[in-house]
Structure 1
């Protein structure tokens, strides 16, 4: 496309003197475009449209192969056909940005009713069913936790002792025996629940009463109330709990999306390693497996984005929604067959093994990123 901005006799950046009669669109010394800074709006619009339509041409050819010919885009790109298609990393960045933007919109915003429910943490309601369960603190060491669990057991036993004794002393009617067994089962359940969750339960009752920005003295008071010594980790745990307590739905969604995007980005190199192990006899470079992984991930983003859009419009019947769950699996198998050129039987078997290995890797990554996200939120 021709540009009609005023050309200059010398480069404004490096003072290179353009030779009359030779191309002067760009400086051959530094590469800067040769036109004055004061350009009209029409020229800006012309350059903008040129960039957009040039990029769109690549997008259409890339999307056609990516969506309807699984594995073919990777095969062509590694064969050297790079000019007609969008580079893998640029494609991933653009599609993942649009996907997570749509996902954030899909999750919506909290209303007044949800805000009121958030004012009373669900964890506090759950702990309230266990007598003295908040006496077991996240901040305590193993010895203090064992002592606290013992006190919880004693409190629960004492709470049920009177009822159990009265039921045991009553006439041995079928109804009384049934009630006695139910009371003992409930007692055992509460003791087991306290023991199982005690090591990770934080003193929510005390933390709930703290302001949004507590002082160090207030935080240390909560920690000491559980018989623990204030430390960097215990103070951090209190402040992060307050942060989650006071977070809006938008803030939580933003944190989840950020953690999810990081996790998926980190999973791609790991998935490429799994592919390299599954097809080690082909002696392919690691980069080829990584590009294949990027293209498959891009397809998943596009597919899930379309499904979310159709679901938002209520355009999908239930049976079709269930059927669409098979599309990613079928796409992955066909992509493996196209790119790695093995028999269908070997491809299906390897796809199942890769699916299991990837699921375990994703679960481990999810737990890791989740823990880091909670700590740094």
Structure 2
């Protein structure tokens, strides 16, 4: 940033105002902390000038980063790890910013509340209508086989699960469950709590303990938390997915360091450190998010879906990046390309399953 007014020779001091080390009049910036060597009292004009300088400086970095990222696959990573860092934006911060922007665009353009309305006003109402109709047919039927069949259909189409155990002594029922394996116990307790919440017998954990006259244990609290989250997700699926989407940028940000370990393992003889593979991962995935943003905008403005084309373009880009950065022959690159993409898909599915489970548990 060129601060022409405050950096004039007449304003330069002999000591840094920030870290107090001695300075020469030829020093425009402090060699220790980088602060501008100026004793001029700051004005509103100076603040605006610094702000605009910072914006244009970032804009210049952004332009150079995008150009290198798109036109020189793999080479931007090579230049960055070799020390050319002032030219490009920080790969981690840039990726995080782009990812958050993309998911904000999705959230803004997606009407998740309409899912809740459709689910509650259409599907659950239809389910209730089907159950009522089947009950009427059952009442008019005299054939035991038909009655049994109708009972199974009522259970299938009922908007809430049936659990005859709700009518039993809760304390005795929970004591009986303690004899089962832990996961079976938690599942049965979760179903029990879910049906109690569904029947509006209680909404909070303390209310459930008081009404059921059971003790507070870690197992009971876990089962109740799962039941309550499941109830909210069941009746408000749109809000649940909105909550899930808001967490995805953070999941992806922490997922890539794990994936970079596998890249490190397939290039053991190369003169690269783990951080180099990590930077490579962030650079390539940033390009993928940029492609998704472009396809999103095309879909938004022109109603043309190009996601498959974006995926193909990214796979070609990834191959070129691996060739450009690791500089191995085509056959080796293709084999490692297939292997790493398989690992990426497995890890992505595992990560998504975990975040889906955690979101359902904590929603």
Instruction: Report the CA distance shift for 1:230/1:55 in structure 2 as closer, same or farther (over 3 A).
Output: closer
Aligned-pair RMSD on alpha carbons? 4.2
Instruction: Report the CA distance shift for 1:302/1:267 in structure 2 as closer, same or farther (over 3 A).
Output: same
- Corresponding position: 1:346 with 2:329: no
Equivalent of 1:61, from 64, 77, 86? 64
- Superposition deviation, residue 254 in structure 1: 4.1
- Superposition deviation, residue 50 in structure 1: 0.7
Instruction: Measure, in 1, the Cα distance between the counterparts of 2:154 and 2:311.
Output: 38
Equivalent of 1:232, from 217, 221, 224? 221
Partner-residue secondary structure (3-state), 1:326: helix
Partner-residue secondary structure (3-state), 1:82: coil
- Cα deviation 1:107-131 (Å, max 9, x = unaligned): 23424x8436347986x95994178
Partner of 1:172: none
Summarize the alignment of residues 38-187 of structure 1 with structure 2, pairs less than 5 Å apart: 39-40=43-44, 42-111=45-114, 114-115=116-117, 117-118=119-120, 128-129=155-156, 133-135=162-164, 141=177
- Corresponding position: 1:362 with 2:348: yes
Instruction: Measure, in 2, the Cα distance between the counterparts of 1:229 and 1:4.
Output: 66
Partner of 1:276: 264
Instruction: Measure, in 2, the Cα distance between the counterparts of 1:326 and 1:17.
Output: 56
Partner-residue secondary structure (3-state), 1:231: helix
Structure 2 residue ranges without an equivalent (≥5)? 128-152, 167-173
- Cα deviation 1:23-82 (Å, max 9, x = unaligned): 686667766555677622x33322111111111111111111212222111122123322
- Superposition deviation, residue 315 in structure 1: 5.1
Instruction: Report the CA distance shift for 1:16/1:345 in structure 2 as closer, same or farther (over 3 A).
Output: closer
Structure 1 residue ranges without an equivalent (≥5)? 149-196
- Superposition deviation, residue 292 in structure 1: 0.6
Instruction: Report the CA distance shift for 1:25/1:262 in structure 2 as closer, same or farther (over 3 A).
Output: same
Summarize the alignment of residues 253-332 of structure 1 with structure 2, pairs less than 5 Å apart: 253-314=241-302, 316=304, 321-332=307-318
- Cα deviation 1:146-182 (Å, max 9, x = unaligned): xx9xxxxxxxxxxxxxxxxxxxxxxxxxxxxxxxxxx
Count of residue pairs brought into register by the alignment: 318
Partner-residue secondary structure (3-state), 1:129: helix
Instruction: Measure, in 1, the Cα distance between the counterparts of 2:281 and 2:218.
Output: 48
Equivalent of 1:208, from 198, 205, 209? 198
- Corresponding position: 1:337 with 2:341: no
Instruction: Measure, in 2, the Cα distance between the counterparts of 1:306 and 1:331.
Output: 15
Contact 2:74 2:325 in 1 (8 A): yes
Moved more, 49-58 or 210-219: 210-219
Partner-residue secondary structure (3-state), 2:302: coil
Q: TM-score, normalized by length of structure 2?
A: 0.71
Partner-residue secondary structure (3-state), 2:113: coil
Partner of 2:145: none
- Cα deviation 1:157-214 (Å, max 9, x = unaligned): xxxxxxxxxxxxxxxxxxxxxxxxxxxxxxxxxxxxxxxx989756644322438953
- Superposition deviation, residue 265 in structure 1: 1.5
Instruction: Measure, in 2, the Cα distance between the counterparts of 1:212 and 1:120.
Output: 26
Instruction: Report the CA distance shift for 1:363/1:37 in structure 2 as closer, same or farther (over 3 A).
Output: farther
Instruction: Measure, in 2, the Cα distance between the counterparts of 1:346 and 1:10.
Output: 59
